[in-house]
């Protein structure tokens, strides 16, 4: 198995764990998420043992370095933007006009764009997205720097 396939497996295991975590929270069964986590680690370990192209040379190290850097650069922007929106959602204070200040009956108690629970799920989903971003950048830089070309002269 190739490294990129292994990284994709990690991403899909993370997505499956996210879905199982969501289900276990909704059904109040925390044991399910703990068992799923252990099974996920075992699946990743078995997949890791089957990877056959972990040959590290200068080009491979450069591709890994560039992919990790670009993943970080893109991901922190997405995660920071979402986190700012989440904090603003949690701290939202409605701006009231002068007409509504004295009319307490028509004033909403709170306005939520997203519930705190959903904010947590989206943040976990963004962490799963980070894995797929890394794989995408590895594909891009492997093609750019020619990792899949033969070096035999």
Q: What is the mean pLDDT of residues 73-96?
A: 78
CA atoms within 13 A on the CB side of 141: 20
Task: Find the Cα–Cα–Cα–Cα dihedral 12, 5, 138, 134, rounded to 10°.
Answer: 10
> Is residue 109's pLDDT more than 80?
no
CA nearest to 90, candidates 132, 118, 131 = 118
Q: Does the pTM exceed 0.75?
A: no
- What is the separation, in whole angstroms, between the first and last Cα of the chain? 26
Residue with tokens 């799963």: 128
46 in Cβ contact with 13 (< 8 Å): no
Percent of the chain whose pLDDT exceeds 70: 80
The predicted-structure confidence for 12-44, as pLDDT tens digits, reads as follows 999 999 899 889 888 888 899 899 999 999 999
Structure confidence at residue 111 (pLDDT): 54
């Amino acid at each position: 198995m190739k490294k990129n396939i292994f990284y994709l497996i990690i991403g899909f295991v993370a997505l499956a764990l996210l879905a199982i975590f969501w289900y276990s929270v909704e059904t109040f069964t925390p044991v399910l998420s703990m068992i799923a986590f252990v099974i996920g680690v075992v699946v990743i370990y078995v997949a890791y043992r089957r990877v056959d192209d972990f040959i590290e040379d200068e080009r491979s190290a450069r591709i890994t370095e560039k992919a990790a850097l670009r993943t970080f650069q893109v991901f922190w922007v997405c995660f920071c933007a979402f986190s700012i929106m989440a904090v603003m959602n949690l701290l939202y204070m409605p701006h009231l006009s002068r007409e509504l200040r004295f009319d307490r009956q028509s004033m909403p108690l709170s306005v939520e764009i997203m519930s705190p629970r959903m904010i947590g799920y989206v943040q976990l989903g963004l962490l799963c997205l980070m894995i797929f971003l890394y794989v995408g950048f590895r594909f891009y830089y492997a093609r750019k720097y020619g990792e899949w070309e033969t070096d035999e002269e």
